[in-house]
Every structure is written in structure tokens, then in C-alpha cells.
Amino acid sequence: MINSSSFGILLFTAALAAAAPAAATKDTAKKSEGAVAYLASGKSKDDTAAMRHVARYYPLVLEFARKAAPRPQQPADIDVMIKDRSGKLVLRAKAEGDLLLANLPAGEYAVSATYNGVAILQNVAVEEGKHRKLNFEWKN
């Protein structure tokens, strides 16, 4: 049997799916920089769950974690910079939670994520019609 809380979550999830990739929860920051639209998660579990549901509609997913015992924890206030192959900044964003979804055009990018002053750099090739995921993990 579905209670009213579960029904509300089901309706919310259905609305997100219908509106993807422009979906956002109340904690999600839906923004764009130039031609790059993105979603950056907030700190709530509902926000993360909703974003995971629509992540497949974005060419690039960035996931952030802080290594801690007994399991990884969610960092906050991650500064993200994405530069194209020529070094031009195409996206600068702040993620309050553990996910950032970017609607980037096909191309090669350098992605930098900084948490507590520690930057991690990864390169990625985004291909049209394909979905890429990068994981960033900081040690305590």
C-alpha cells in the first residue's frame, strides 16, 4: 500500500522524469553558464535521489565524496571548473552536495574540482549520445 508520503515522492519523481533534463528540486541549483546548463545538488538525500534519477539525461555527471570511516561522506562547497580543449573556461560552478550534472556539447574537457583547498583534475571526452561519469574523492 502506498502512503501519502510515498505517493508524493512518486509524483515528484514522475515530474522530474517528465521535465528532465531541466529538472530541479528545491535544493538543486539549476543554472547555466554560456551555453552550458547544469544542475548542482543540494545537501538533502531527496535532492540527491532526484538528481540520480535524471542524471542519465546529461552527458557528464560529476560525483563527489570524502573518504571517511566507516564509509564515504558527502562533501559540500565544491568549486568546479570545466575547460575545453583550447583552455577556455566553459563552466564554473559550486556544488553544495555530491553531484553536478553538466549538459556539455561533445568535446574534450579538463575538469577541476576543489574541496577544502585540494584540487583534483581529470580529463574527459564527452561524446554525443553517450553518458560519462567522473568520480572525485578526497581523503580526510
| Residue 16, all three cell numbers | 522530474
Which residues contact residue 82 at a Cβ distance below 8 angstroms, ignoring those fewer than 6 apart?
Answer: 36, 89, 90, 91, 92, 102, 104, 109, 110, 111, 112
- DSSP-based three-state secondary structure for 69: coil
Q: What is the pTM of this model?
A: 0.74
Average pLDDT over residues 136-140: 87
- Over residues 7-34, the pLDDT tens digits come to 334 334 444 444 444 444 444 444 555 5
Supply the pLDDT for residue 46.
77
pLDDT in tens, 55-88: 999 999 999 988 876 766 778 889 999 999 999 9
Distance CA 111, CA 38 (A): 14
Res. 103: pLDDT tops 50? yes
**Angle formed by the axes of helices 45-54 and 4-19, nearest 10°:** 40
